Amino acid sequence: MSGGGFVRLPGGSVVVALTLPSPEAEGRMVRVLVHSVNRARALTRLRNHGLRAVYLRGNAHPPTPDEITAVLHHPDGLLWRTAPQETVELWHPIRALLRPVRPA
């Protein structure tokens, strides 16, 4: 089950945080952060990157202040890392999660 939430920033934009199943590893979860002008646009950005069945239902797990800072300081405004946070892990750009698998 995915959890997520959002925070509206003073400038009117939003930061959306979602916990989703990892597309690359069975049974693992990832926390994805998106900075956008509104919630619908944030979900559209994720869908455009290949995460088709992404929905935000409720605001049970909004982004923490540290997550908001991380996504605001990234040029793409779209980050991820594994969840739950077991070790110290930096945020990764979304293209690192969704990169195509190349045959060896």
Radius of gyration of the chain (CA): 13
Where do runs of H (alpha helix) occur along 1-104? 39-48, 65-72, 94-97
**Identity of the amino acid at 43:** L
User: pLDDT digits over 44-98, tens only?
Assistant: 998 888 877 788 888 889 999 999 999 999 988 899 888 876 677 888 888 777 6
- Report if pTM > 0.75: yes
Task: Please check whether residue 55 is in contact with residue 3, taking contact to mean a CB–CB distance below 8 angstroms.
Answer: no
